[in-house]
Amino acid sequence: MSSTPERVAVVTGGSRGIGRAVSTRLAATGFTVVVNHASGTAAAAATVEQIQEAGGRAVAVLADVADEHAVAAMFDRVEADHGGVDVVVHSAGRLALSTIADQDLDVLDALHRTNIRGTFVVAQQAARRLRAGGTFVGMSTSVVGTQFPTYGAYVASKSAVEGMTLILAKELRGRDVTANVVAPGPTATQLFLDGKTQDQIDTLSKVPPLERLGMPEDIAAVVAFLAGPDGHWVNGQTIRANGGMV
């Protein structure tokens, strides 16, 4: 009787926030999860420990997503240790808020290095390595549609994520590999909450018709659907997971 083949997911930015929720959710559905992080070794180790304590399989791997050599080495290691890659979720990202008039261009460059170059580097490796039946999921933001002031630099980067990922879906024709984007609305993560007053948080939580902030687990559930067999007919789409916010 043959054993079930190991299914392997790489989650960038997998140690915190939405990435951590995605890592734990995919592990719970049977994936071996590679928890990528660029810093925060303790957080990555805690994520791996949480998965293992729940009976799942996970390993933490350090790599700057914008460094093509580090990312290629990470995928080399995954293939050597686990035989291949079936799902890549690119959750790593930066957020910096400023009006366009006042935007510090050094901050802009750092944000775009992670959010645009990092997405391109990870998507490039995913395109080269994902096995048949596989999935790439990029991470955008619903602010691409709502266009809140002070999000100019961030939205510029996430618009790029949406554009390149939907092109990737077409370039993967014939491979039985999907590429989609999940675009969360306001979600209760450290990245979102930092620098906001309680009044700002309360106001934003009332914007969706469901009148609450999203939770990381809400977004992880959408990613898990796309990564599983039930979601494999969804391809080349941006899914705005935001409680109905427009």
Contacts of 212 (CB under 8 A, 6+ apart): 205, 243
Encode burial over 198-231: b for 16+ CB neighbours within 10 A, e otherwise: eeeeeebbebbeeeebbebebbbebbbebbbeeb
For strand 32-37 and strand 8-12, is the pairing parallel, antiparallel, or unpaired? parallel
Token pair for residue 195? 């620098």
CB 139 within 8 A of CB 93: yes
151 is an active site residue: no
Contacts of 208 (CB under 8 A, 6+ apart): 185, 186, 214, 242, 243, 244, 245
Token pair for residue 33? 């999860």
Write down the catalytic residue from 122, 154, 208, 213: 154
Angle between helices 68-82 and 118-129 (to 10 degrees): 30
Token pair for residue 54? 């729940």
Contacts of 112 (CB under 8 A, 6+ apart): 153, 156, 157
Q: How far apart are CA 106 and CA 207, in angstroms?
A: 32
Residue listed under structure tokens 């180790």: 45
Catalytic residue annotation: 154
